[in-house]
Amino acid sequence: MPKPKPPDPHGRPPIAGSAELGRLLFEMSLLMGLSPAGTDALAGACNLRGPADLLCRLQLGGDVEVTQVRPEVLLPIEARELSPGGVERLLLMQRALMLEIGWWLGLSSEGRLQISPLAWIDDAADAVHALDLGQALGLQAVRVLRGDDDTSEFAFTGP
Whether 26 is covered by a domain: the verdict is yes
Contact 150, 90 (CB under 8 A): no
In DSSP terms, 107 is beta-bridged to 113
Number of domains in the chain: 1
Contact 105, 97 (CB under 8 A): yes
In what side-by-side order are the strands of the sheet with 55-61?
Answer: 48-49, 55-61, 68-78, 112-117, 103-107
Whether 64 is covered by a domain: the verdict is yes
DSSP state of 2: P
Report if pTM > 0.85: no
Whether 63 is covered by a domain: the verdict is yes
Whether 70 is covered by a domain: the verdict is yes
| Rg of the chain in Å (alpha carbons) | 16
What's the whole-number mean pLDDT along residues 9-20? Answer: 48
- 53-104: per-residue pLDDT in tens? 899 988 887 655 667 889 999 999 998 888 888 888 899 999 999 999 999 9
Residue 21: φ, ψ to 5° = -70, -40
Q: Give the per-residue pLDDT at 8.
A: 37
> Which range of residues forms the domain containing residue 107?
19-145
Confidence bin at 137 (pLDDT 50/70/90):
very high
- CATH code at 110? 3.30.1460.10
In DSSP terms, 115 is beta-bridged to 73, 105
Whether 159 is covered by a domain: the verdict is no
Contact 115, 97 (CB under 8 A): yes
Residue type, 36: P
Proportion of the chain in helix, strand, coil states, percent, rounded to 5: 40, 20, 40
Is 60 exceeded by the pLDDT of residue 9?
A: no
